[in-house]
Structures are given as structure tokens and as C-alpha cells.
């Protein structure tokens, strides 16, 4: 199938490579050209713009960092929406906001293009192994069109219905569950440590006998053994996802107090210079609040405006 693939970070590169290996015809685009080199060697055509990548594609896949990146690539100058043919499908696989997903559905609709929201659960290793879980929503025919691609990239496909943005809500809700579990582990570990109990032992008992979740197992181990480097998923992206959860709640008048609390803790982690450790580093904030660990002063008071625009921009 002729596929345009935009966004070649850790996740996107692995997914694109799997598509190539399965014999699909790929045009790729990435904001920084260099990230496309390995895929070019593997047989992908490297486009000079998002628009160019989209021309002639049956399916356009986007796998980007956040709303702003998707907006730039789709609606920006030489954006993909201008190149995509009528009847072609845009499968948006990034974790983006419900609001942007709704806008994408509408804008593609007015151009006779099809839109599928298909965010994924899984880390880069799952992406490389083609073992992602894909949650898809959108017109049935469009999902069917993407199915051969989804089967290459993921091992599980959950179809939600025809209202595309619902898939984004499920993805956001899922990350909210994970972040909440991490926060809870962080608080519980701080509690038991101050009572002189080894958190790994606590985890062994409570998860081993009761919760029995690989998520608690994995994140619990990361936290108990303080293995926040290298990050599997960066803390700054965890913060982004809490913002998405709060925005999704705000839109429908649903308060999410735990998401607010986690957001606050992520902000402190940012202020303490921990933007690029694993998002399980959230647990360090509870350790600091209990006096078990030391918080750093920020890397200079983060000043809004001019300074921040420079210094802070890459961190969001």
C-alpha cells in the first residue's frame, strides 16, 4: 500500500520500519531530516515536506509528539492536508487532544478525506516488535483500509466505533490510569520508607498478592530501584498527557482531581529540572515532600516570555 508516514521519533521510526518490512511503499517526512536517513536506507522515499509526502498516499500516518506538531504538519505551511487526495485516509496515531482530533475529523471531512484516530499503547520496544495495542475509531471503511497497516504495527486492534475522537479519550484515560498508579506508588513508597520498610518488599506483597499488575510491577521496580534513566517515556510527556486529561474533562464538565494533583507534581518535577527522566520519576516528588530526598532549585528561575521562549521551549 502507498503510505505516507510523518513523525520519525523513537516510536514512529520503529512503526515505519515494520511497514517497510511488510512490503509497503513508504514516503516519510520528519521535521529534522536526519531522523529519516535510516529509513531511507531501508527503502523509504524521503519527502521534502509533509505536503509532498501526502501526495499520492492511500493512507497517511502521523506519529508526533503533541498537538502543536500535528497542527504544524497537517495545517501548516506545505501541510499534509493540502497534498492528501480525496478518499485517502489520515490515521492519527499520536496521543493528541480530543479537541484537535475533532477538528481533524471536521477538516478532513470537508475535503472528502477520511479520518481515523488510532492512538497506541506501548513503549518503543513494543513498537519495534510490532506489539502495540491500537485503539481505533472512525468510519468503518476507513479503519478497514488501515487494517493491513495496523496488523503490522500492533498485535491488538480495539475498534471503538465511528466517532474518531473517542479513541483519543480512551488513550488519554489510559495514560491517566497509569500516571495515577505511579503517583499512588510514589506516595505509598514514601510512607513505607519513612516507617522503615523496604518499598521493594512492600511491592512484592501488595502487587504480588493483590493487585498482580505488570504495570505496578514494572513501575514499582523502576521507582524502588530509582532507575529513571534512560527514560522509557519522558516526564515532560507525562505532564503533557495530564494536560490532555484535564482538557478532556474540562470540555465536558468532569473534574479529575487526581489528574490535577499529578499535574501539580509533574510541574514541580519540571521546576526541579527532571523533565527528561522517566515519567515514573513522579515518585521522586513524593519522596521530596516527605523529606526523603532533596529537591533542586530550578535551573534559574524559569522566567516567562523572552527567556522562557528560548530556554523553556524544547521542554514542552
Catalytic residues: 171
Kindly tell me which residue out of 23, 144, 308, 311 binds a copy of itself, with binding defined by CB under 8 A: 308
Judged by CB, which is closer to a copy of itself: 38, or 298?
A: 298
Q: For residue 205, what are the contacts with CB-CB under 8 A and spacing of at least 6?
A: none
Q: Is 250 in the site for a copy of itself (CB under 8 A)?
A: yes
By CB under 8 A, what part of segment 100-159 binds a copy of itself?
Answer: 102, 121, 133, 135, 156, 158
From the CB of 90, what's the least distance to a copy of itself, in Å?
18
Judged by CB, which is closer to a copy of itself: 128, or 181?
A: 181
Is residue 6 helix, strand or coil? Answer: strand
From the CB of 145, what's the least distance to a copy of itself, in Å?
22
Separation between Cα atoms, residue 67 and residue 96, nearest integer Å: 5
Separation between Cα atoms, residue 295 and residue 270, nearest integer Å: 11
Separation between Cα atoms, residue 129 and residue 124, nearest integer Å: 9
Separation between Cα atoms, residue 228 and residue 300, nearest integer Å: 23
Judged by CB, which is closer to a copy of itself: 46, or 287?
A: 287
From the CB of 309, what's the least distance to a copy of itself, in Å?
9
Concatenated DSSP letters for 67-103?
A: HHHHHHHHHSTT-HHHHSPTT-EEEE-S---HHHHHH
Copy the grid coordinates of residue 15: 512503526
Separation between Cα atoms, residue 294 and residue 307, nearest integer Å: 26
By CB under 8 A, what part of segment 31-90 binds a copy of itself?
Answer: none
Judged by CB, which is closer to a copy of itself: 21, or 194?
A: 194
Separation between Cα atoms, residue 241 and residue 124, nearest integer Å: 17
3-class SS string, 163-224: CCHHHHHHHHHHHHHHHHHHHHHHHHHHHHHHCCCCHHHHHHHHHHHHHCCHHHHHHHHHHH
Judged by CB, which is closer to a copy of itself: 252, or 314?
A: 252
From the CB of 98, what's the least distance to a copy of itself, in Å?
6
Q: Is 244 in the site for a copy of itself (CB under 8 A)?
A: no
By CB under 8 A, what part of segment 266-305 binds a copy of itself?
Answer: 267-268, 270-273, 288-298, 301-305
Judged by CB, which is closer to a copy of itself: 41, or 195?
A: 195
Judged by CB, which is closer to a copy of itself: 5, or 274?
A: 274
From the CB of 118, what's the least distance to a copy of itself, in Å?
13
Residue 203 region by backbone torsions, left for phi larger than 0, else alpha for psi between -120 and 50, else beta = alpha
Residues in the chain: 316
Kindly tell me which residue out of 65, 249, 279, 281 binds a copy of itself, with binding defined by CB under 8 A: 249
From the CB of 306, what's the least distance to a copy of itself, in Å?
9
Separation between Cα atoms, residue 207 and residue 90, nearest integer Å: 40
Is residue 129 helix, strand or coil? Answer: coil
Kindly tell me which residue out of 230, 252, 310, 313 binds a copy of itself, with binding defined by CB under 8 A: 252
Applying CB under 8 A, the site for a copy of itself has a residue count of 88
By CB under 8 A, what part of segment 160-189 binds a copy of itself?
Answer: 160, 163, 165-166, 169-170, 173-174, 176-178, 180-181, 183-185, 187-188
From the CB of 79, what's the least distance to a copy of itself, in Å?
19
By CB under 8 A, what part of segment 185-214 binds a copy of itself?
Answer: 185, 187-188, 190-197, 201-202, 204-206, 209-214
Amino acid at each position: 500500500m502507498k503510505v505516507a508516514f510523518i513523525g520519525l521519533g523513537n516510536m514512529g521510526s520503529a512503526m515505519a520500519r515494520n511497514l517497510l518490512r511488510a512490503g509497503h511503499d513508504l514516503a516519510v517526512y520528519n521535521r529534522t531530516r536526519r531522523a529519516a536517513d535510516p529509513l531511507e536506507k531501508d527503502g523509504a522515499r524521503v519527502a521534502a515536506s509533509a505536503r509532498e509526502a501526502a501526495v499520492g498516499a492511500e493512507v497517511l500516518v502521523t506519529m508526533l509528539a503533541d498537538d502543536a506538531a500535528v497542527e504544524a504538519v497537517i495545517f501548516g505551511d506545505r501541510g499534509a492536508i493540502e497534498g492528501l487526495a480525496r478518499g485517502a485516509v489520515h490515521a492519527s496515531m499520536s496521543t493528541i487532544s480530543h479537541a484537535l482530533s475533532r477538528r481533524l475529523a471536521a477538516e478532513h471531512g470537508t475535503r472528502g478525506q477520511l479520518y481515523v484516530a488510532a492512538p497506541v499503547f506501548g513503549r518503543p520496544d513494543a513498537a519495534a516488535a510490532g506489539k502495540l495495542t491500537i485503539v481505533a475509531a472512525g468510519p468503518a471503511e476507513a479503519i478497514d483500509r488501515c487494517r493491513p497497516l495496523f496488523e503490522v504495527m500492533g498485535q491488538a486492534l480495539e475498534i471503538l466505533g465511528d466517532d474518531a475522537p473517542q479513541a483519543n479519550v480512551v488513550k488519554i484515560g489510559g495514560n491517566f490510569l497509569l500516571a495515577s498508579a505511579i503517583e499512588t506508588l510514589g506516595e505509598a513508597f514514601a510512607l513505607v520508607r519513612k516507617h522503615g520498610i523496604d518499598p521493594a518488599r512492600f511491592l512484592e506483597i501488595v502487587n504480588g498478592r493483590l493487585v498482580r499488575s505488570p504495570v505496578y510491577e514494572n513501575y514499582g521496580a523502576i521507582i524502588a530501584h530509582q532507575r529513571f534513566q534512560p527514560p522509557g517515556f519522558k516526564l515532560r510527556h507525562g505532564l503533557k498527557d495530564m494536560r490532555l486529561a484535564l482538557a478532556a474533562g474540562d470540555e465536558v464538565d468532569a473534574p479529575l482531581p487526581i489528574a490535577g494533583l499529578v499535574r501539580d507534581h509533574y510541574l514541580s518535577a519540571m521546576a526541579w529540572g527532571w523533565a527528561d527522566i522517566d515519567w515514573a520519576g513522579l515518585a521522586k516528588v513524593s519522596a521530596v515532600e516527605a523529606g526523603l530526598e532533596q529537591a533542586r532549585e530550578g535551573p534559574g528561575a524559569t522566567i516567562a516570555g523572552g527567556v522562557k521562549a528560548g530556554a523553556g521551549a524544547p521542554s514542552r
